Amino acid sequence: MDDMDNVGFIGLGAMGSGMMANLVSNGVAVVAYDSDIVTLNAASRPGVRLAENVATVGLDCKPIILSLPDGEVVEQVLYGAAGLAAALAPESIIVDTSTTQAHKSKEFASRLGAQGVWFLDAPVSGMEGRAADGTLTIMVGGEESAFNRVLPLLQHMGETVVHMGPPGSGQLTKMVNNVLYNVSVAAMAEMLPLAARLGLDPQSVRRVVSTSSGQSFGFDYFSERVLEGRFDEGYPMGKAFKDMLAISEHANAQQAPMPVVSGAMQTYKQALAEGHGAEAKGAMIKVWQRVLGVRLEGGS
């Protein structure tokens, strides 16, 4: 990393700001940009220089980290008016920590590769707290030599950093992880109303499962919230369902049946049909409360 004195960071939202802060606290000089001026100004501190636009970041930095909402925004940053790609010097490395589609990551890697630039898809797992603590899990696809060059930076932001393979591999891994998570939440949404119908106290069931073999992050995170009627905390159900659709396409292409995932998708579809798409995934529980005629504490 001795030829990369400045590290660019584009996208300073809840995740990006935490990741950038860990770079700075480890002595990394950062050139930062966010399209929202209030968010950008909030990032001002010793060790951080604020950029006027993405092109400035590209001109001043060789490793550049992106933390953006989706693939469309990544493409706009790279190839929109006064975009980042045109400003990049050969041997620059783009590290995209955004969650996007694998085929888009492959496309970006190919297009940037033609100009001598490496593109690593490096989505992260972990919420804002882990971003702030520097304990994210980071799964990386792309050229291994480029990965090795930026590994010290990634280790400032993540506790577990794994090179998964060629371009797109990071996003495919994130998709697999997300679907496992989504299925566990669908199972929670079925089981807690059934437990109540069987005469069990849902809070007591939650205490037991959270310390037993049925425990999962999805169960722990959402069971607490749904039992308090908090359906606005967590990833929106409609967006989560897109991961289910995406992995179904990949599975169909491989002629791989997925009966468990397919079953969970039925609950997602029903919850979406009942108008819960903008709520967090835990709102699926409302479907089974209605079907079973029970109401959990705090639920609706």
Query: How confident is the model over 170-211, as pLDDT tens digits?
Result: 999 999 999 999 999 999 999 999 999 999 999 999 999 999
d(CA 231, CA 227): 10
Strand, helix or coil at 128?
Answer: helix
* pLDDT value for 7: 98
- Decide if pLDDT at 2 tops 60: no
> Which pLDDT band, with edges at 50, 70 and 90, does 298 fall under?
low
Closest by CA position to 58, among listed 31, 25, 39, 80: 31
Query: How confident is the model over 247-294, as pLDDT tens digits?
Result: 999 999 999 999 999 999 999 999 999 999 999 999 999 999 999 999
> Which pLDDT band, with edges at 50, 70 and 90, does 5 fall under?
confident
For the chain, give the mean pLDDT: 95
Maximum Cα interatomic distance, the chain, rounded to a whole number of Å: 66
Query: How confident is the model over 109-163, as pLDDT tens digits?
Result: 999 999 999 999 999 999 999 999 999 999 999 999 999 999 999 999 999 999 9
**How far are the Cα atoms of 6, 173, 222, 299 from residue 283, in angstroms, in the given order?**
44, 26, 9, 9
Q: Which residues contact 161 (CB under 8 A, 6 or more apart)?
A: 137, 138, 140, 151, 154, 155
d(CA 66, CA 105): 13
Query: How confident is the model over 194-205, as pLDDT tens digits?
Result: 999 999 999 999
Domains and CATH numbers, the chain: 6-166 (3.40.50.720), 173-292 (1.10.1040.10)
Q: Note the pTM of the prediction, 2 decimals.
A: 0.93
d(CA 140, CA 161): 8
Return the structure tokens found at 259.
């009966």
Strand, helix or coil at 102?
Answer: helix
* pLDDT value for 297: 66
Dihedral angle sign, alpha carbons of residues 185, 191, 194, 198: negative
φ, ψ for residue 10, nearest 5 deg: -120, 120
Residue spans of alpha helices (H) in the chain: 14-25, 37-42, 54-60, 71-79, 102-113, 128-133, 144-157, 169-197, 202-209, 217-226, 237-253, 259-273, 285-292
Could you tell me if 287 and 273 are in contact, meaning their C-beta atoms sit under 8 angstroms apart? no
Tokens 């199972």 label which residue? 187
Could you tell me if 222 and 230 are in contact, meaning their C-beta atoms sit under 8 angstroms apart? no
Question: Rounded mean pLDDT of 216-230?
Answer: 95
